[in-house]
Structure 1
Amino acid sequence: MKDIQDLGYGISLIDVFDLKKEQRTGTYVIREDDITIVETSASPSIPYLLKGLESLSIHPSEIKNIIVTHIHLDHAGGTGLFLKDCPNAKVIVHPKGKRHLANPSRLIEGARAVYGNQFDELFDPIVPIPEERLVAMEDEQTLQIGKDRTLQFLHTPGHANHHLSIYDAASNGIFTGDTIGVYYPQLLSQELEFYLPSTSPNQFNPDAMLASAERMEKLELERIYFGHYGKSENPHHVFTQLRKWLPLFLETAKLSIKLHTDSSFEQKATAISTDLFNKVQAYLKSKQINLTPDVQEIIQLDLSVCAMGLVDYLSKKQVNA
């Protein structure tokens, strides 16, 4: 299946067609004694995940660990639904996220505020996870999944306070969720590796994001496995892009808010999103990149959510100043 990639080191990537789009969100399958997956995406993605596992000749009952990097619904929203097919699996999560998977009412409320009338189509249903099947991982705690394979969990805030990244020594790679941004592999066909920060509400913190990136960089990684989407074998470029775009996001947001002081939250976010897209589009144009409508739509969606997080962060900063 073209929707499944063999990434080497016993790792496969299943495209789970989040938002009904290719190469948007992926589930990683680590084939060891204890079969482990990283991310489930949202509930509408679960049929694609099950189909992908079938193509890999893996029955859901064989899965022992389901890891979610964080509890945002595009990464963990389908976990409860998927767990119904996985009687022998535990769900591994950051300690701060555990209670929200057991009782997702606040997750639902927060997502409805961001996605409005689209919520049901994008995320429904969100199934609570029994507490006895949840495992919280502390910073630097490890999990042995095979005779010679151990995963190490790192607390990596910045995108969210409840964020884990998972270091896999066997591949010298790390599963980063959204901490160091989003990868757009659709542009590889035009010979561009392109990454942008993910600054979504409501726990975005640029200083923590850069600190988490620095912590990862010290591991001297060879591979980065993004939640959105796929594997990079150029970590230096990833970190360089984060350090380029993150200050630009903040600078753009500050200027836009200054020009729209009396506007509503939604109006400020819309203005920032437009300004950010213009900068991204200008950069891509300078690289002779042709944006297809599908990729443009994904980038614009990402930037609209990023803009909300920037308004939220800068508003809180002003209040606490």
Structure 2
Amino acid sequence: MKPIYHDLAFDITCIDTEHMRKDFVAAYLIESEGRAGFVDTGCYLSVPTLLKTLDEKNISRNAVDFIILTHIHLDHAGGAGELIKHLPNAKIYVHEYGANHLIDPSKLRAGVIGVYGELFFKQFLGDLIPVPEDKIVIAKDNDVIFLANRTLKFINTPGHARHHICIWDEKSQGIFSGDTLGVSYREFDTKLGELIFPPTTPIQFDPEVWINTIQKIMQLKPKYAYLTHFNRIQFTQHSADMLIQHINGFVDIAQTLKTKNNRHQAIKTALLDYLLQIAKDHGVDFEQAQQIKLFKGDLEICAQGLGVWLDRS
């Protein structure tokens, strides 16, 4: 099967990793003067798609210099251990809090199986391969790396997760944002622009820290956000304000329902109502059943993350 990818400007390719559904999880390929690098990998099952994309674009596997992981949630980094086996010259850049989990992913594996079960793990994630320690480089705040003559800068971006980094690409004036600049599915685009909302994934969601991180990123005045979920969008102060508004909206739901019986289901139901309402206010007019189907992939983990945050705070 041919890989699905979108050639963007500035020698950047958005690759659909086809995890769970199409247009859900992206990895990015950056090119410069015959060299290449990946930002995020999708899960283990996504690796053949990444390698086929290299083949389609006539990029040698020896020409790939790095894999940068925005964070170690498995839809972003689950394929790293398998992918690095095929890229002899590449290193993996990751936040220091994520490095040990790549070297020994047993806790990551156990955590996912504990929540979703062995069947889900095998069917939708496939496997989780350890990364050799000598292939890992710690990505520190404000560190700069080069892809040929292209400058990429790491930014420490906690809030969604403590182990989250973003990457500032000077050439495109864009941010490879992982989950830090939210989730925005192209199906919800209207004449008002993009609809953006926060993925409040367990276990390190921290709304106050996250909002500070967004404000820090906006000091760079980015033109674009290269989202994992999904594809490149223009990112303006309005985009940032929308994301902050909905972080606060999610938090208000959690706090209102914190003593409710069957709290998790109550939060999940309220989140869906909230998302359907903001979609309506945004001018989204396709069938509500299809909207629910698109939102469904985020509801469970967002509700879980809000519950963990309530318990911690």
Same fold (TM over 0.5): yes
Q: Which residue of 2 aligns with 1:217?
A: 218
Matches within 5 A, 1:1-150: 3-19=4-20, 21-33=21-33, 34-116=35-117, 117-147=119-149, 149-150=150-151
Q: CA deviation at 1:189?
A: 6.6
Q: Any idea what the Cα deviations from partners look like across 1:68-124, whole Å, max 9, x if unmatched?
A: 100010000011111121111111101111111000011112212332241221212
SS in structure 2 of the partner of residue 37 of structure 1: strand
Matches within 5 A, 1:199-278: 199-260=200-261, 267-278=262-273
Which aligned segments of 4 or more residues in structure 1 are displaced greater than 4 angstroms?
189-192, 291-295
Gap change, CA 1:83 and 1:253, over 3 Å in 2: same
> 2:7–2:14: 8 Å Cα contact kept in structure 1?
yes
Q: How many residues align?
A: 309
Distance 2:81 2:63 in 1: 17
Gap change, CA 1:157 and 1:63, over 3 Å in 2: same
Q: Any idea what the Cα deviations from partners look like across 1:27-51, whole Å, max 9, x if unmatched?
A: 1111114311101000111122222
Report the identity percentage: 33
Q: Any idea what the Cα deviations from partners look like across 1:226-281, whole Å, max 9, x if unmatched?
A: 11111111322320211211111011111122332xxxxxx322221111101111
> 1:39–1:76: 8 Å Cα contact kept in structure 2?
yes
Matches within 5 A, 1:191-202: 192-202=193-203
TM-score when normalising by structure 1: 0.91
Query: 1:137 is matched by which residue type in structure 2?
Result: A
Q: CA deviation at 1:295?
A: 4.9
Q: Which residue of 2 aligns with 1:168?
A: 169
Structure 1 unpaired stretches of 5+: 261-266
Q: Which residue of 2 aligns with 1:282?
A: 277
> 1:204–1:309: 8 Å Cα contact kept in structure 2?
yes
Q: Any idea what the Cα deviations from partners look like across 1:190-218, whole Å, max 9, x if unmatched?
A: 76511110111001100111011001000
Gap change, CA 1:2 and 1:120, over 3 Å in 2: closer
> 2:62–2:89: 8 Å Cα contact kept in structure 1?
yes
> 2:121–2:127: 8 Å Cα contact kept in structure 1?
no
Gap change, CA 1:170 and 1:279, over 3 Å in 2: same
> 2:11–2:31: 8 Å Cα contact kept in structure 1?
yes
Q: Any idea what the Cα deviations from partners look like across 1:112-150, whole Å, max 9, x if unmatched?
A: 233224122121210000000001111100101122x11
RMSD, aligned CA: 1.7
Query: 2:26 is matched by which residue type in structure 1?
Result: G
Distance 1:270 1:112 in 2: 20
Query: 1:129 is matched by which residue type in structure 2?
Result: V
